[in-house]
Structure 1
Amino acid sequence: MLKYNSKEILDYVIKCRRYLHTIPELGLDLPKTREFVINELDNFKNIKYTKNKKDSGIIAFINGKKKDNKDNKKIIALRADMDALPIKEDTDFEYKSCSNNMHACGHDAHTAILLGACKILNDNADEFSGTVRFLFQTGEEIGKGAKIMIEENALKDVNAIFAVHVGSFAPDTPNGVFIIQEGPIMASTDKIIIKIKGKGTHGAYPQAGIDPIIMSAEIINGLQSIITREIESSETVILSLCKISGGSAFNIIPDTVEIEGTIRTFNNDVRDFFIKRIKEKSKLISNSMLGECEIDIIEYACTTLNDAEITNNIKNTAETIFSKEAVWNKYYKPSMGGEDFSYYLREVKGCFALFSTITEKNIPNHNSKFEINEEKLNMPSELMANWAFDFLK
């Protein structure tokens, strides 16, 4: 069994998290965050690391030193995202953000939690064989960090991967309780941009032009009918067209209209079919009305799909080291939010768990007043480390 002091781990995680909270950085370039993580890793004698070439990501690793199984070639990966959001913080914490950015999604806690797991495994290197890889990832909020990690060979020869996300996803889930559930846990997330081209003219003489506003109305209605008439009703599919731009005057038919929205599903095959039909139907409608259209799909995440075997293993570890009450015993309705951890799960079997850090205020993620309950932040670190130990055995 791994040996550690839970209070020491908690204090360490809170210390790291609060410092990271003061220096939120956006996107792929996180110089201050990277410097802090590297300084911490340098304190762990058994942990080595490499720096990504394409961003501020870090791939750290520890090779177990247990001598009775030198041939153990198993590799598991533990991941934390490090980037923040362009939100001005509206809290009174002493450690509040020093800039106009904010860790409003808990990534400061994720990074600190993974450092906590590093600390536990560093101190127990003689107790296991095999390799644990620690992925400190950038750019989750923009859907690019995981892809870069994969390009940097973060998943090379990895057998399984695990990550934890903090927050108040299920309002009735008490603080300090994990949601560990197989199957889809978060939705695919895509941005859709439809550019409709017609021919502008005076509103008094519509026959002299090609009206992209009328075309856009037909396309909007037509795309919703794909969901109701071409996809099984048991599938969850959302198409929200949230922005439409076109025209400059009340009596002028414009040349173009642009529509933007988002697509969410829990099934990657359904997602692929839906995008294919969106492109086909939009072009058919616009062509039938003598116009044209272009469609861009910007992918942020595919479906976050938890492997049954790995998920159950992690659940068993959590119940063993904590208690059965530490794992939510009710069905969690998967979130329509997206997560780029899904790209790892497309390559390697693994699990994305949720950990309730709910406070009395119950403020959701991505909010300027977002806060987390720190009282049990040692638990995700302990779960990561112990699951790694169990899996490598």
Structure 2
Amino acid sequence: MRNLFFTILLITPRLLIAQNTATEASSLEELYRQLHAHPELSFHETETAARLAREWREAGFEVTEQVGGNGVVAVLKNGKGPTLLIRTDMDALPVEEATGLPYASEVTTQDDAGQEVHVMHACGHDLHMTVAVGTARALSSQRNQWKGTLVMIGQPAEERSGGANAMLDDGLFTRFPQPDYALALHASPTLEAGKVGYVSGYALANVDMVDITVHGRGGHGAYPHTTLDPVVLSARLILDLQTIVSREISPLEPAVLTVGSIHGGTKGNVIPNEVRMELTLRSYSDEVRNQLIEKIKRTCHGVALSAGVPDSLLPEIQIRNESTPSVYNDPALTEQLQKVFVKTLGSDRVEQVPPVMAGEDFARYGRQDPKIPIMLFWLGTVSPEKLAAAQQGTLPLPSLHSAQFAPHYPPAIRTGVQAMTQAALALFNGKKK
């Protein structure tokens, strides 16, 4: 009889979650379509933030708006226990949607440079917000099942890697309860809807953007000997930069160095004075990140000096301030929640997935002092039919940031709410603070 009691005690919260999620399904799906159809760019998420704030207030949370710009913080205190932060991002991308869906975005706006751009939720942030609202509703309605403090945050500007810092700088961990754990999820463009994926340790990469200006001395294309040609110098430099990862970083350490943009000159018979290049760097460890930056600087100066470029014209290297640190999923927390996911969803719906070289500024919440354990897990978005076609090679799956990215949202929403809610219950009902 005692064993039966504990079995019921363990199962009952999951049954409640499933029932609550089914009841909320229609409302959440409508919310998703509304969010998808009305995206806003990074640092401009005013209406999106207002909608999140309203949803969380209606769920019984104490809500503060305009934290770090458009950030939203919702707090639900429910007795003595751990403090859990659950984060969702809110911003969209300057992408023209090509899904053909009836709720597709038709939004256009001016970006920060004054250019007219289309806007689309091409990275799943609309799905993230919907799951966050569903999770908040579920946990609020089941306050008899847990004790502690729940902090939900709507973060601006994840795509430009500034929103997390903005909220932290505005007192996220001082004005509001400091969390013992932080959780987030992210839409996966390759995982079947109804499943979740997990990674222990490094899950997403350090991301750095590097601008290089290669200086020279321009002149007539017919008299190259009278110039210092920055075009030729840039070509040499691009090739030499590729040897940094292949020959100077341990093959056991993941790293990427890509020259994605190069611009110089105006006419074929004119040698310009300079060439501008843009690079992206990806790594997991801070040590490798620092090595990449140091070796880029050394290579640029060395190639320039070998070409006879004077010190006054050495290449300029600028590391943009929009860098993102790598997401490191706390191994103990990940192991704990992986077991929770299996119990909640079944082992056939929980997959261990490889880390990726994309970036996510959720990492910053785990890099504050004192450090807190964080975990980001992946939420499947692909319909079984499309996944089967992709595996047969007859249908390519759109990636994140694609104009054709279209999550199979009904099962994704249900799964996300179930997984996140059960993860929260497990943490709240663990060791009390």
Normalised by the length of structure 1, the TM-score is 0.91
Partner of 1:78: 86
Alignment partner for residue 402 of structure 2, among 348, 361, 367? 367
**Alignment RMSD (CA, Å):** 1.9
Alignment partner for residue 380 of structure 1, among 386, 411, 416? 416
Amino acid at match of 2:44: D
Deviation at 1:193, TM superposition (A): 1.0
Distance 1:297 1:238 in 2: 16
Alignment partner for residue 349 of structure 1, among 348, 359, 373? 373
1:180 matched to 2:169: no
Deviation at 1:113, TM superposition (A): 0.4
Distance 2:347 2:375 in 1: 18
Partner of 2:291: 273
Distance 1:380 1:42 in 2: 21
Partner of 1:151: 169
Alignment partner for residue 89 of structure 1, among 85, 97, 122? 97
Amino acid at match of 2:344: I
Partner of 1:103: 121
Amino acid at match of 2:137: K
Alignment partner for residue 326 of structure 1, among 349, 353, 370? 349
Name the SS for the 2:152 alignment partner. strand
Partner of 2:426: 390
Alignment partner for residue 293 of structure 1, among 315, 325, 335? 315
Deviation at 1:224, TM superposition (A): 1.8
Name the SS for the 1:34 alignment partner. helix
Deviation at 1:216, TM superposition (A): 1.4
Amino acid at match of 1:370: F
Deviation per CA, 1:109-163, whole angstroms, max 9, x where unpaired? 1001000111011112233222111111111111111211222333452211111
Partner of 2:45: 30
Amino acid at match of 2:218: G
Moved more, 214-223 or 15-24: 214-223
The answer (yes or no) to whether the contact 2:325–2:359 under 8 Å persists in 1 is yes
Deviation at 1:189, TM superposition (A): 1.9
Amino acid at match of 1:373: H
Amino acid at match of 1:61: V
Distance 1:18 1:204 in 2: 60
Partner of 2:273: 255
Distance 2:269 2:251 in 1: 42
Structure 1, unmatched stretches of 5+, are none
Deviation per CA, 1:34-92, whole angstroms, max 9, x where unpaired? 121122122122x1121134321101111114xxxx3x3x2111111111111222233
Normalised by the length of structure 2, the TM-score is 0.83
Distance 1:208 1:260 in 2: 28
Q: Judging changes above 3 Å, is the alpha-carbon distance between structure 1 residues 93 and 211 closer, same or farther for their aligned structure 2 residues?
A: closer
Distance 2:205 2:136 in 1: 30
Distance 1:151 1:18 in 2: 32
Name the SS for the 2:42 alignment partner. coil
Deviation at 1:192, TM superposition (A): 1.5
User: Which one has the bigger helix percentage?
Assistant: 2
Distance 1:93 1:217 in 2: 44
Distance 1:224 1:97 in 2: 39
Distance 2:67 2:192 in 1: 40
Deviation per CA, 1:291-319, whole angstroms, max 9, x where unpaired? 41111122442222211011111111111
Deviation at 1:12, TM superposition (A): 3.1
Moved more, 339-348 or 24-33: 339-348
Name the SS for the 1:114 alignment partner. helix
Distance 2:101 2:31 in 1: 15
Distance 1:59 1:108 in 2: 17
Partner of 1:242: 260
Deviation at 1:369, TM superposition (A): 2.2
Deviation at 1:6, TM superposition (A): 2.6
Moved more, 154-163 or 313-322: 154-163
Distance 1:15 1:212 in 2: 55
Deviation at 1:234, TM superposition (A): 1.2
The answer (yes or no) to whether the contact 2:264–2:276 under 8 Å persists in 1 is yes
Amino acid at match of 1:332: V
Distance 1:245 1:42 in 2: 50
Moved more, 189-198 or 3-12: 3-12
Deviation per CA, 1:254-302, whole angstroms, max 9, x where unpaired? 1111111211122222012111221222123223422411111224422
Distance 1:91 1:285 in 2: 46
1:15 matched to 2:30: yes
Alignment partner for residue 147 of structure 2, among 125, 129, 138? 129
Partner of 2:329: 306
Distance 1:218 1:77 in 2: 48
Structure 2, unmatched stretches of 5+, are 1-11, 108-117, 387-396
Distance 2:361 2:30 in 1: 27
Name the SS for the 2:192 alignment partner. coil
The answer (yes or no) to whether the contact 1:64–1:127 under 8 Å persists in 2 is no
Name the SS for the 1:375 alignment partner. helix
Name the SS for the 1:341 alignment partner. helix
Name the SS for the 1:334 alignment partner. coil
Distance 1:88 1:220 in 2: 31
Name the SS for the 2:100 alignment partner. coil
Moved more, 341-350 or 254-263: 341-350
1:284 matched to 2:319: no
